[in-house]
Amino acid sequence: MRSIGHESLFFYYVSFAAFISLLVYVFALKGHRSVLDDEA
């Protein structure tokens, strides 16, 4: 059970990290687009 719990925690950590990375990427992309729109 300990190994399964460790795998679950690892999976949760990877999923959380991927979710945060996606939010940061989208936020940066939107910010970049807004800057281009302001310049245009």
Q: Which residue has the tokens 């807004």?
A: 34
Structure confidence at residue 5 (pLDDT): 76
Structure confidence at residue 6 (pLDDT): 80
CA angle 29–19–1, rounded 5-degree value: 165
Structure tokens at 23: 């939010």
Structure confidence at residue 1 (pLDDT): 56
Structure confidence at residue 10 (pLDDT): 93
3-class secondary-structure state, position 24: helix
Structure confidence at residue 40 (pLDDT): 58
pTM over 0.85, yes/no: no
Structure confidence at residue 17 (pLDDT): 98
Per-residue CA distances from 5 to 1, 15, 18, 32 (Å): 6, 15, 20, 40
- Euclidean distance between the first and the last CA atom of the chain, given in angstroms as a whole number: 58
Q: How many CB atoms lie within 10 A of CB 16?
A: 10
What does the pLDDT look like over 5-32, one tens digit per residue? 788 999 999 999 999 999 999 999 988 7
